[in-house]
Amino acid sequence: MICLSELNYRCSLSSELTKITRTCANLFCTLLQRQEE
């Protein structure tokens, strides 16, 4: 998924913690999916 890969990259720039990176990407992906509906 482009969403996960791109947001994971962006979030990793502002956070070195894997958990926060995954959470950040998951939250934004959820928001993007809701907007597409």
Q: pLDDT tens track of the chain, all 37 residues?
A: 455 566 656 665 555 556 666 677 777 777 777 776 6
* pLDDT at site 26: 75
* Number of domains making up the chain: 1
* pLDDT at site 32: 74
* pLDDT at site 18: 60
**Whole-prediction pTM:** 0.38
The set of residues, in sequence order, having a beta carbon less than 8 Å from that of 22 and lying 6+ positions away, is: 8
Boundaries of domain holding 18: 2-36
* pLDDT at site 33: 74
Give CA 33 to chain center in angstroms: 12
Sequence letter at residue 16? E
* pLDDT at site 21: 64
Sequence letter at residue 30? T
